[in-house]
């Protein structure tokens, strides 16, 4: 397991705060209130370990298949439904939404290989990530891929009530490879996929896909 580059600065700051708090605690209250000092150490250590684990990138055997659409994120499938597209596309699409809790791996990956046709950031609200309107009203970043077979799909990174920073590395015209990094969302959030109506879905509600590994659909 390695640590994602988006976490370097955050972890450095958190480690400094951890050290300062516990040094102050050791020199001021550890003698008179040893239990309080110990509890403070355990609490701050737990928070630091959680923060480090949030930016983890576990070793995985990625799935690279020409006809497969792989999961762009870890999490839980909370929506599978046909919707009217409201950005880039104009027709009906199949939406598959993956909710990411703060405990999930939060690096986002390209679901297919191909060309980036569209990449757009949108300011917005911070509704809870499972709210039906979060797809259209929350802060988000939308990317459209044209796969090597000529078909297109849309991936939308959506901020939640806690996630207030979306990072996306893609620009229109870029050629990308399936399972390579597309971006990162800090803390809990969700990712939507808008797929062609004829895509064959391979997951169901409640499934827990792994980013870059689980096949969400095929075409």
| Across 57-73, average pLDDT | 93
Structure tokens at 156: 């939308």
**Does 189 qualify as catalytic in the annotation?**
yes
| Across 142-154, average pLDDT | 96
Q: Quote the pTM value.
A: 0.84
8-28 helix and 34-54 helix, angle to the nearest 10 degrees: 180
Can you say whether the dihedral through the CA atoms of 151, 185, 131, 142 is positive or negative? negative
Q: What's the pLDDT tens digit per position in 149-184? A: 999 999 999 986 555 578 899 999 999 999 999 998
Contacts of 149 (CB under 8 A, 6+ apart): 66, 67, 219
Give the Cα separation of 139 and 143 in Å (integer): 14
Give the Cα separation of 142 and 157 in Å (integer): 6
Give the C-alpha distances (Å, rounded to integers) separating 59 from 56, 62, 197: 10, 9, 33
Give the Cα separation of 17 and 179 in Å (integer): 35
What is the pLDDT at residue 50? 87
What is the pLDDT at residue 134? 52
Structure tokens at 100: 């990411």
Q: Quick count: other Cβ atoms within 10 Å of Cβ 215? A: 18
What is the pLDDT at residue 48? 93
Question: What integer best gives the mean pLDDT of the chain?
Answer: 89
Give the Cα separation of 79 and 213 in Å (integer): 19
Q: What's the pLDDT tens digit per position in 192-204? A: 999 999 999 999 9
The active-site residue, picked from 37, 53, 189, 218, is 189
What is the pLDDT at residue 123? 83
Give the Cα separation of 50 and 100 in Å (integer): 15
Tell me how far the alpha carbon of residue 102 is from its chain's centroid.
10
Q: What's the pLDDT tens digit per position in 104-122? A: 888 999 999 999 999 999 8
| Consecutive H or E run containing 44 | helix 34-54
Are 74 and 176 in contact, with CB atoms under 8 Å apart?
no
Q: State residue 217 phi and psi, 5-degree precision.
A: -160, 170
Number of H helices, E strands in the chain: 3, 15
Structure tokens at 41: 């150490």
């Amino acid at each position: 397991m390695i640590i994602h580059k988006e976490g370097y600065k955050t972890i450095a700051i958190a480690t400094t705060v951890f050290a300062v708090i516990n040094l102050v605690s050791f020199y001021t209250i550890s003698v008179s209130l040893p239990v309080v000092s110990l509890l403070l150490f355990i609490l701050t250590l737990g928070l630091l370990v959680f923060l480090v684990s949030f930016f983890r990138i576990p070793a995985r055997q990625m799935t690279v298949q020409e006809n497969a659409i792989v999961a762009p994120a870890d999490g839980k499938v909370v929506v599978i439904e046909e919707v009217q597209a409201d950005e880039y596309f104009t027709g009906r699409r199949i939406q598959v939404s993956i909710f990411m809790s703060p405990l999930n791996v939060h690096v986002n990956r390209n679901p297919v290989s191909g060309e980036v046709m569209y990449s757009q950031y949108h300011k917005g609200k911070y509704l809870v990530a499972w709210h039906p309107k979060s797809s259209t009203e929350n802060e988000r970043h939308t990317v459209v891929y044209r796969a090597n077979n000529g078909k297109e799909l849309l991936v939308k990174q959506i901020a939640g009530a806690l996630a207030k920073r979306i990072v996306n590395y893609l620009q229109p015209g870029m050629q990308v490879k399936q399972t390579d990094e597309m971006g990162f969302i800090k803390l809990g959030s969700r990712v939507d996929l808008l797929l062609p109506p004829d895509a064959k879905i391979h997951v169901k509600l409640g499934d827990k896909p792994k980013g870059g590994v689980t096949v969400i659909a095929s075409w």
